[in-house]
């Protein structure tokens, strides 16, 4: 594996990696930053739907990652810097010592994503989820339980935000994602594709534990606090998770894990 030495944090060749936190807030025009070994491994794997553009490593990480990077076709340019220079580039102490620049996949139409799924497919749909940890958690759970896709409405945060990718342990990079749509249009598309839309809400009369796997199901989750709009819940099959101890709901990522397990239990 050939590497390119960087000794100046202002080197124009690594401009895309500079001041990461500030640029997280402004976007990268179709690109994203991936952080850490697990996420890098996913980005370079055949399962990834994204293309690596460049890698920036602390010099102490080069030997341990050389074989993995060299085996990724096509091999992206690999820049190497001392820890102090790397921290200056990133704008904060980068203890993991691993960054990668990737290109997002071309946006897909939601109907196209759903068409190719099987008759027992389960997908996750989300509305108004702005917290990056929760977005990452949804994608991690969707991948862990074999969901066929994740559909987000136009009020959700960007799943390619660096923290969302990291929390998802790279699942964002290999999960089919449709272009965001307004929530009513998203429900229309799911219904047209013959998915039963199951709206998770604490007010539901039907318990999640009563559901059995089978058929095309879309698990619809809203933001913590406001939840899903009443007019949307009225269009769907409203289901709730029974609580004790005075609680009425779980964190949205935890809710997705419980519900996905219920909808996929026993599947091969």
CA distances, 89 to each of 4, 16, 167 (Å): 15, 10, 22
**Does the pLDDT at position 236 exceed 60?**
yes
User: Concatenated DSSP letters for 103-126?
Assistant: EPPPPB-HHHHHHTS-TT-EEEEE
| 3-class DSSP assignment, residue 67 | helix
Prediction pTM value: 0.91
Which pLDDT belongs to residue 29?
78
Distance CA 66, CA 40 (A): 12
- Which domains, ranges and CATH numbers included, belong to the chain? 4-103 (3.30.1330.30), 110-264 (3.40.1280.10)
**Could you read off the pLDDT of 129-150 as tens digits, one per residue?**
999 999 999 999 999 999 999 9
**Does the pLDDT at position 246 exceed 80?**
no
**Does the pLDDT at position 26 exceed 90?**
no
**Could you read off the pLDDT of 1-13 as tens digits, one per residue?**
789 999 999 999 9
Q: Do 240 and 200 touch, CB atoms closer than 8 A?
A: yes
**Could you read off the pLDDT of 185-210 as tens digits, one per residue?**
999 999 999 999 999 998 888 999 99
**Does the pLDDT at position 27 exceed 70?**
no
Give counts: helices (H), strands (E), the chain.
Answer: 10, 11
């Amino acid at each position: 594996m050939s590497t390119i030495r960087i000794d100046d944090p202002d080197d124009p060749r690594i401009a895309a990696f500079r001041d990461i936190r500030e640029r997280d807030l402004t976007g990268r025009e179709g690109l994203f930053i991936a952080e850490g070994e697990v996420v890098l491994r996913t980005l370079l794997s055949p399962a990834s739907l994204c293309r690596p553009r460049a890698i920036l490593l602390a010099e102490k990480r080069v030997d341990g990652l050389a074989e993995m990077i060299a085996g990724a076709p096509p091999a992206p340019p690999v820049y190497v810097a001392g820890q102090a220079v790397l921290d200056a580039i990133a704008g904060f102490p980068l203890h993991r010592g691993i960054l990668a620049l990737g290109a997002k996949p071309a946006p897909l139409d939601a109907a196209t994503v759903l068409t190719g799924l099987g008759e027992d497919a389960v997908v996750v749909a989300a509305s108004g989820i702005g917290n990056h940890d929760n977005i990452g958690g949804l994608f991690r759970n969707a991948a862990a339980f074999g969901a066929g896709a994740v559909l987000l409405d136009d009020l959700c945060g960007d799943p390619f935000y660096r923290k969302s990718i990291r929390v998802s342990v790279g699942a964002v990079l290999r999960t089919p994602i449709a272009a965001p749509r307004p929530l009513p249009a998203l429900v229309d598309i799911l219904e047209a594709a013959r998915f039963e839309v199951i709206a998770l809400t604490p007010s539901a009369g039907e318990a999640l534990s009563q559901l059995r796997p089978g058929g095309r199901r879309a698990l619809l989750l809203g933001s913590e606090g406001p939840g899903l709009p009443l007019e949307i819940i009225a269009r769907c099959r409203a289901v709730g998770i029974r609580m004790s101890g005075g609680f009425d709901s779980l964190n949205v990522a935890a809710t997705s894990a419980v519900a996905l397990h219920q909808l996929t239990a026993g599947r091969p």
